[in-house]
Amino acid sequence: MDGKTVIITGANTGIGKVTARDMAERGARVILACRSLEKAEQAAKDIRSQTGNENVIVHKLDLASLTSVRQFAKVINEAEPRLDVLINNAGVMGCPRWVTEDGFEMQFGVNHLGHFLLTNLLLDKLKQSAPSRVVTVSSLAHVFTTGLDFDDIKYEKDYDPAESYKRSKLANVLFSRELARRLKGTGVTSNSLHPGVIYTEIHRQQEERLREALGERLSRVANKIIEGFVGIIGKTWEEGAQTTICCAVAEEWENTTGLYFSDCVPKETSAAGMDDKAAAQLWDISEKMVGLKS
C-alpha cells in the first residue's frame, strides 16, 4: 500500500481503528474520518506509535450532517492528489428514533445516506486513482428484513430500532451493488461485507437502552447474558476487521465488484439484497434526499 491513500470512516475505535492500523502497517497514507476529533487524534497517535507510520492524519466527519460530509469531501478533493480505497465503516445501531441534522431517521441517515453522499462526492477522485476500491461495512442483520419501505423511508410510522438497523444495513448492500453497476468499466470496484458479531460494539450501543427499559439491576443481568452469548459466537475487533481488510487490499479480489463478503470470501445475500430494482430505486431516492438531484 506504499504511496496509496485510504479513508476510513469511524476509525477511532473498534474494527475501524484496527483496519486503520493495518493500512498504516502496509505503508498507506491513512485518513481517519471521525465525528470526534479528540478521539480520532488519540487513535492516530496510537497508530503512529504502533506502526512507525507518521502518515496518519485526521479530519472531522459527522455523517449525521450533510454539511459536514460536504465539507469533508471538499477538503479531500482539494488537498489529496489521490484516493485508492474508501472504507465506509462508521455506523450507529439500535438507537431511539433520533434524527440527523437534516431531519432523517438516525440509523438510515448515518449508516446509509451519509456514506452515500460521501462516496458520490469522492467518486471523481476514486476514478482518477483507479484501480481503486469502495468497501462498505454492512451486517448479516440485513438478511432479517424483507426489504425497504419506500413509502416510509424516513421511518416515521411504528418505529422499531432493530428493524431500522436491519433496513439501514440492507441499504448498504443495495447501495454497494448499484454503485458497482454504475462504476462498471471505470476501474473502481464496490463491495459490501459482514464483519461478524462483535460483542463490544453491540454492548456499547445497547447498554443504555437496556438500562432505560429494565432498570439498572435487571439491565446488568441482561448485559451479562448478552456478553456471554456473544462471547461464544462473536469475534474480536482484530478478527472482525479481517474481511474489511481483505476487501480493501487482497489482490485476488482486485477486479471483483458488486458482491457481499463474509469471512473474507463472497457469500450469498438475501433475496432483498439482490433486488436490482430496489437498488436502483434506493439510489434515486437517496440522490434526492441528500440534494444531489432535485
Instruction: For the chain, give the DSSP string.
Output: -TT-EEEEETTTSHHHHHHHHHHHHTT-EEEEEES-HHHHHHHHHHHHHHH----EEEEE--TT-HHHHHHHHHHHHHH-S---EEEE-----S--S-B-TTS-BHHHIIIIIIHHHHHHHHHHHHHHT-SEEEEEE--GGGGGS----GGGTT--SS--HHHHHHHHHHHHHHHHHHHHHHTTTTTEEEEEEE---BHHHHHHHHHHHHHHHH-HHHHHHHHHHHHHHHHHH-B-HHHHHHHHHHHHH-GGGTT--S-EEETTEEE---TGGG-HHHHHHHHHHHHHHHTS--
Give how far Cα 70 sits from Cα of 21, 87, 121, 200, 266, Å: 26, 17, 8, 31, 32
Is residue 40 within 8 Å of 11, Cβ to Cβ?
yes
Q: Write down the catalytic residue from 155, 165, 199, 260.
A: 165
260 as an active site residue: the answer is: no
Active-site residue list? 165
